Structure 1
């Protein structure tokens, strides 16, 4: 082989070497992105479940694993903006809000004022003091159409859509308490806080 031919072969190799290296790097980046995506999605789901179960287990006498399964059936594989309040009815039925004698349940949209009032007082309880309220307080969750996963990121914000998973839960939980308020308060004066809360004894 002559020098000219060797030079031509080297030029052809170097001509293909750079695109080949770039292709290999691109494939590796795609693989890493997919693995990270799958891993992080699994962690989100596991994190929500772990938080839920840990909080639930602070309450005695509840089958927290069963409650979790009932809870996730409400929103998994659904459009995150299309989870109605009524979708939570099986969960509320499985874990009803119990009325405790000589205690009062207080619910409100005035979070700070209500919790200042109830802190350190056994006679007042908020929804967040119940097994469901405590298990879900300050958490974000949603599902995605076509997915069996639970998500904690990428979920709609409170006001982004009316029927998002979190907003629908809290509205349904408040509604589950409301009939007790009407029954208890008929013909009596019931105190309120800021015009948006109610006390139920």
Structure 2
């Protein structure tokens, strides 16, 4: 009997989605990246996992895809995050204000999609794919690991990181992507300053702030690694964006 994984199966029309996103990115979202061969990019992405055991796909398998999609991240525009993706994307405004990982071409193409291989048929499993709890080296996990590492190497100037101060299990998770794959791959000589924004959710608890708990651990790590940094609780421009949906909340009245 065919094994059923716990994760969603490969997104239907994956090829059409990725090629379409590619042309949308290079023509509309960020034409400054120049010409890219979208068909070749799809083939490099597909070849990383198609027909393969979905528990034996490694970050290095995506290296051809990364080479085809990589481009510069504008100075002072890098934005890292943990537990705040929706807010990050709203603030980034489709690369107009910031360029987080999923605002780069490599991240834009894969964001929100699911995929994995199958030994027969079309070479893709449309019924289910493994989660990271089921096997570490699955196609999606391996993709975001190498993409995160490459994105970190591109950061320059003032770097930003948005953390969620309302989560209960650590605003700066030591096993999260930022700690394991991004912070460790920053090129220190390229970074002038790191701005930490600790954002509480509107109507959410204030579980962590600058200088406390896991945020303190992050600050200590940055000091030890020789980075200059600042930390701000509820950075006002982002707070005002949160308040668009809660204009009458007392936290938003105080933010005005």
Q: TM-score range by the shorter chain?
A: 0.5 to 0.7
1:109 corresponds to 2:109: no
- From 36, 50, 53, the equivalent of 1:76 is 50
Give 1 or 2: higher strand fraction.
2
Q: Which runs of 4+ in 1 moved over 6 A?
A: none
- From 10, 13, 18, the equivalent of 1:52 is 18
- From 86, 91, 97, the equivalent of 2:71 is 97
- Deviation of 1:95 (Å): 1.4
TM-score, structure 1 as length reference = 0.65
What's the Cα RMSD here?
A: 2.7
Give 1 or 2: higher helix fraction.
1
CA distance change for structure 1 residues 130 and 115 in 2, over 3 Å: closer, same or farther? same
- The separation in 1 between residues aligned to 2:191 and 2:111, in whole angstroms, is 33
- From 137, 143, 155, the equivalent of 2:129 is 155
Check conservation: 2:12, 2:126, Cα contact below 8 A.
no
Q: Could you tell me which residue of structure 2 aligns to residue 143 of structure 1?
A: 117
**SS across alignment from 2:99:** strand
Q: Highest CA radius of gyration, 1 or 2? A: 1
Q: Could you tell me which residue of structure 2 aligns to residue 188 of structure 1?
A: 192
- Deviation of 1:121 (Å): 6.9
CA distance change for structure 1 residues 62 and 79 in 2, over 3 Å: closer, same or farther? same
Flag structure 2 segments of 5+ consecutive residues without an equivalent: 1-9, 27-34, 156-185, 199-214, 219-256
Flag structure 1 segments of 5+ consecutive residues without an equivalent: 1-43, 197-201
Q: Deviation string for 1:1-31 (max 9, x for gaps)?
A: xxxxxxxxxxxxxxxxxxxxxxxxxxxxxxx
- Deviation of 1:162 (Å): 1.1
**SS across alignment from 1:188:** strand
